[in-house]
Amino acid sequence: MSVGTRRGLTLVEVVVAVAILGVTVATAASVFGQASQLRVTTQRDDDARVAVENEIERLRALPYWTGGDGSTQQDGSLVGAVFPHAVAARNTESRYVVPGDDQDAPAGAFVTFRALGDRGLRVVARFAVSSRDGWRALDWADIQGFACDEAWRPPGTTMLVAVAVLASAARESSMLYEQYAVIAAQQGPLTALAGARATSEPGR
């Protein structure tokens, strides 16, 4: 074999080696990139879960209904915080009752939305009563006209709450994590929150 032939083979080998090295580097970069993205996604999901759990604990710590006239209820009780009224005319962009089914919540629910950094926190609440089959959410007809600052007692002694963290501060953004809670008032006078329990579900 001539010297020229050996040199040609050496160049081919170099080209092949460079090509293999390039593929290896590209694959490694892709793997590292995916791993980094997975860490970011996992951290984001963990942050969303913690935010939801903290909000549920905050709501559970509120008295269900503080008693007396309704003027003391606004945000000082669970009802005032998550279901202040069932009057469509009082709705705002970030706090509103739902007279008919929409994309955010079923009829008879109250939706509260607020920014949570660069994300959004949404709370959907419904009054409920106990039934043989568990909890029955009150319909729009059962609660229509209720106003926390005017009523002497709420329409129901149990609140079904769904708390979710959204991907951005826009209300229509996708949901990162959601958790449900059933918060019941103490039997007798509605002056304290007791017997509260929270349950998680994978989705609505």
pLDDT tens per residue, range 110-148: 999 999 888 999 999 999 988 777 788 999 999 999 998
**pLDDT band at 170, cuts 50/70/90?**
confident
Question: What's the full length of the chain, in residues?
Answer: 204
The pTM is what?
0.70
Measured between alpha carbons, how far is 41 from 18 in angstroms, rounded to an integer? 34
Token pair, residue 135, equals 């909890």
Q: Which among 180, 137, 188, 179 has a CA at the least distance from the CA of 158?
A: 137
